[in-house]
């Protein structure tokens, strides 16, 4: 019997997660959900990815929001 719990983030890159969130919410609403500068001041996918890759706490918030958005 396979008792492993499937991780919904498995196989998804940060870029895919961020792109889907931006498509769903847009940067303005995303900045309301997660108040970080890369979403509120001159946002772009490229600059946000650069910040999120270097900042584990921010990446964790983005991943949690993505998981909530799946429900």
| Tens of pLDDT, residues 22-62 | 999 999 999 999 999 999 999 999 999 999 999 999 999 99
CB-based contacts of 38-45 (< 8 A; 24+ apart in sequence): 45/15, 45/18, 45/19
Domain ranges across the chain: 14-70
According to CATH, the superfamily of the domain at 14-70 is: SAP domain (1.10.720.30)
Q: Taking a C-beta distance cutoff of 8 angstroms, is the pair 71, 12 a contact?
A: no
Instruction: Say what the pLDDT of residue 67 is.
Output: 96
Question: Hey, is 4 helix, strand or coil?
Answer: coil
């Amino acid at each position: 019997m396979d008792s492993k719990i499937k991780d919904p983030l498995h196989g998804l890159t940060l870029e895919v997660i961020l792109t889907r969130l931006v498509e769903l919410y847009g940067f303005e609403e995303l900045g309301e959900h997660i108040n970080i500068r890369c979403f509120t001041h001159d946002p772009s996918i490229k600059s946000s990815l650069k910040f999120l890759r270097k900042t584990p706490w921010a990446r964790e918030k983005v991943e949690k929001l993505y998981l909530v958005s799946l429900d």
